[in-house]
Chain A
Amino acid sequence: MTAPTNTELLTITLAEGRRRLVAGDVTSVQLTQMFLDRIADTDDEVRAFVTVTAESALEQAAEADALLARGDAAAPLTGLPIGLKDVLMTRGVRTTAGSRMLDRLVPPYDATVVTRLGEAGAISLGKLNMDEFAMGSSTEHSAWFPTANPWDLERVPGGSSGGSAAAVAARQCIATLGSDTGGSIRQPASFCGVVGLKPTYGRVSRYGLIAFASSLDQIGPFTSTVEDAAMLLQAIAGPDPLDSTCYDEPVPDFSAQLDRGLDGLRVAAPQEFFGDGMDDDVASAVETALDLLAANGAIIDRSPSMPSVPMALPVYYILAPSECSANLARFDGVKYGYGARGGESMWADMEATRQHGFGREVKRRILLGAYALSAGYYDAYYLQAQKVRTLIRREFDRVFAEHDVIVAPTAPTVAFRQGEITDPYQMYLNDIYTIPANIAGLPAISVPGGFGKGRMPVGLQFVGQRLDETALLGVANAYEQLTQWPTFPSGNVGST
Chain B
Amino acid sequence: MSDSDSTQFTSAQVRHLASLVRIELTDSEVEEFRSELASILSHIDALSEIDTSGVPPTNNGADLLNIQDDDASRPAMEREQILANAPQREDEYFRVHAVLDQS
Interface size class of B (residues with CB under 8 A): 35 or more
CA distance A226 to B39 in the complex (A): 39
Interface secondary structure of A, over-half rule = helix
Q: Is the CB of B77 closer than 8 A to any CB of chain A?
A: yes
Among A106, A109, A355, A424, contact of B39 (Cβ-Cβ < 8 Å)? A424
Q: Is the CB of A145 closer than 8 A to any CB of chain B?
A: no
Contact with B along A371-396 (1 / 0, CB 8 A): 10010000011011111111101000
B40 close to A424 (CB less than 8 A) = yes
A387 close to B57 (CB less than 8 A) = yes
CA distance A380 to B49 in the complex (A): 11
Q: Is the CB of A419 closer than 8 A to any CB of chain B?
A: no
Q: Is the CB of A358 closer than 8 A to any CB of chain B?
A: yes
- Least Cβ distance of A422 to chain B in Å? 11
Interface residues of B in 49-103 (CB under 8 A from A): 50, 52, 55-62, 64, 66-67, 69, 77-78, 81-82, 84-88, 94, 96-99
CA distance A374 to B17 in the complex (A): 9
Contact with B along A234-250 (1 / 0, CB 8 A): 00000001001111100
Nearest B residue to A242 via CB reads: B69
CA distance A333 to B95 in the complex (A): 10
Interface secondary structure of B, over-half rule = loop
Interface residues in A, total, Cβ within 8 A: 74
Residues in A neighbouring B97, C-beta threshold 8 A: 341, 343, 345-346, 348-349
The 7 closest A-B pairs by CB, nearest first: A339-B87, A386-B57, A201-B61, A202-B62, A108-B81, A336-B85, A387-B52
Residues of A within 8 A of B (CB): 104-106, 108-109, 200-202, 214-216, 218, 241, 244-248, 308, 311, 313-315, 317-318, 325, 329, 332-339, 341, 343, 345-352, 354-355, 358, 363-364, 366-368, 370-371, 374, 380-381, 383-391, 393, 423-425, 428, 438, 441
Residues of B within 8 A of A (CB): 1, 6, 14, 17-18, 20-25, 29, 33, 36-37, 39-41, 43-48, 50, 52, 55-62, 64, 66-67, 69, 77-78, 81-82, 84-88, 94, 96-99
